[in-house]
Structure 1
């Protein structure tokens, strides 16, 4: 009896199998298809100079901070009024590439100590150098379980072909990439941004009705100060100070080619123990003699790498001495007070 029972049972199981598989496939087909995740746009990071400015806003007293407007952007400037009843004027400080408005060399010591000599100081934040790409902000990733439940390896293996088919069905991005700007266009945009900030600083300084306005640039800030005065020719700025002047990479003309054209009272401070600075200063001196610059004076300094505090004190004393002996007044008194 047992031998006769098994063949019919096996035949019955085989008969049920074809009906079972289509049912499972039909159930799977009713599952909703997953749409491909949209591409996430990465917001650019802030400029390094903007991050530095935010740090200064946290560290320094609010009374020293001025938010100035230049074109369509705001920037931080640090203001220190003169500790005198009748200030000598306003000194606008332009930091060099990679420096902040309170840089510990040159900019910071001058902006804090010159008010004791009767000078108000306004130190600017300049934009990052042109040509430095801003890294994209990383996309925040969510842990499994928040956006979607984690998929087990077995289920991933089962759904692999379906996911591949869905990914392949997404249309590729055919939007053309934005055209790359030429070097001249990039440099012009950078020049416009820097000049707009200097203009905003001058507007703020004029509100104080100073007796004199002096522009001082350190490093590449010396280049921007020189080019601004040559291009815009503000009548109430008749004094220019350069400290360790430097040409931004890729820019022209060289300082020795443009500086002598400025018939302003000019103090050119440089460190004689740096061969590159010494050679560049010698070229500027020769050019000023050829152009018969009426008020160009070079001041040699000695670097003190082992004693930076004394080095900065020496610089402050030299700047104070130049302002006392060589400041060109006259026209700027009438213009600045209007």
Structure 2
């Protein structure tokens, strides 16, 4: 083996290392800017689903596929549950609007009605409503802290007068911030209403496609408010009747139900549970408002709450709703 001079060793080592480095770089090329941007985009956190979307996904796993309908409202698709009437001559379709926090197959009122109405010759279409963004917690306004005390306390007047400009500025900023929060909340409430109305529009269109000769809106809880407001603002001629069940006005609901219901021109049934003091009070307000406007199309029906017996309570509701939708001729 030939001897290598000590001065030549660094060059020899470098000649051995460089080919290895080039081979590693060739085996693991650097990503292009486009590839790097795509990787960063895919790594971004996906937006969280709304609670209503999660609930709808859960329903899709348990409700028969034949009952599921994906309806389109603007750029959004949503789940609706359809059950045709069990007759060759259906009387029409009832579009069911759940309340806040309820699903299209909620065990109280919603599910029992949508499943039982087809036996009464009415098709049912139960909707999924979006989450109300205007009900989300508003940002808390933090008041400006007073200026820190200084060591110079030689003048009492100066010490008491100094905070005044700060307090005035803080008060002005708080007023501006409060005004911004109110305006933002109002805009969000308007956007919420538009999303809900778009879904009811889609449901009405679907019912018409099924050749429903009569269309009824039925709202439960706050869903009753949205059904009423939809009819009050849009006055669609395709809808002939309105059913309110345990109606509630949401926190963003302006005007309230007592102001909206008397203005409707179509037949309206207002079912309420008389065992609840607040429900009785609200129902009385709606009834009195209706009488003041001489609205002959408004009917109010009281129900009995049956705690611990949801089956009997739902059966009571179904029978009363069926009786109002399809009154039987009197027997002479």
TM norm. shorter chain > 0.5: yes
Question: Which of 184, 187, 209 matches 2:186?
Answer: 184
Question: Which of 112, 116, 120 matches 1:113?
Answer: 116
Structure 1 residue 275 corresponds to structure 2 residue 302: no
Distance, in Å, in 1 between the alignment partners of 2:104 and 2:211 is: 23
Distance, in Å, in 1 between the alignment partners of 2:280 and 2:288 is: 12
What is the CA-CA distance between 1:303 and the residue it aligns to? 0.3
Structure 1 residue 95 corresponds to structure 2 residue 72: no
Cα displacement string for residues 144-196 of structure 1 (whole angstroms, at most 9, x for unaligned residues): xxxxxxxxxxxxxxxxxxxxxxxxxxxxxxxxxxx977111100110110000
Distance, in Å, in 1 between the alignment partners of 2:252 and 2:194 is: 16
User: What does residue 221 of structure 1 align with?
Assistant: 223
User: What does residue 131 of structure 2 align with?
Assistant: 128
Cα displacement string for residues 196-225 of structure 1 (whole angstroms, at most 9, x for unaligned residues): 000000000001111210000000000100
What is the CA-CA distance between 1:230 and the residue it aligns to? 1.0
Q: Is the 8 A contact 1:212 1:236 kept in 2?
A: yes
User: What does residue 309 of structure 1 align with?
Assistant: 311
Q: How many residues align?
A: 245
What is the CA-CA distance between 1:131 and the residue it aligns to? 2.8
TM-score (norm: length of structure 1): 0.70
Whose radius of gyration is greater, 1 or 2? 1
Distance, in Å, in 2 between the alignment partners of 1:247 and 1:66 is: 28
What is the CA-CA distance between 1:254 and the residue it aligns to? 1.0
What is the CA-CA distance between 1:133 and the residue it aligns to? 4.5
Aligned-partner SS, 2:55: helix
Question: Which of 49, 54, 61 matches 2:52?
Answer: 49
User: What does residue 202 of structure 1 align with?
Assistant: 204
Alignment of 1:35-184 (within 5 A): 41-133=44-136, 182-184=184-186
Q: Is the 8 A contact 1:263 1:294 kept in 2?
A: no
Question: Which of 264, 267, 276 matches 2:266?
Answer: 264
Q: Is the 8 A contact 2:134 2:192 kept in 1?
A: no
User: What does residue 176 of structure 1 align with?
Assistant: none
Distance, in Å, in 1 between the alignment partners of 2:136 and 2:301 is: 37
Aligned-partner SS, 1:280: helix
* Uncovered stretches (5+) of structure 2, i.e. residues with no partner: 1-39, 138-179
Cα displacement string for residues 248-291 of structure 1 (whole angstroms, at most 9, x for unaligned residues): 11321111111100021000000000011110000000000000
Cα displacement string for residues 106-161 of structure 1 (whole angstroms, at most 9, x for unaligned residues): 11000001100100000000001223559xxxxxxxxxxxxxxxxxxxxxxxxxxx
Alignment of 1:14-33 (within 5 A): none
User: What does residue 154 of structure 2 align with?
Assistant: none
Distance, in Å, in 2 between the alignment partners of 1:98 and 1:130 is: 13
Q: Is the 8 A contact 1:269 1:301 kept in 2?
A: yes
* Uncovered stretches (5+) of structure 1, i.e. residues with no partner: 1-37, 135-178, 327-338
Question: RMSD in angstroms over aligned alpha carbons?
Answer: 1.8
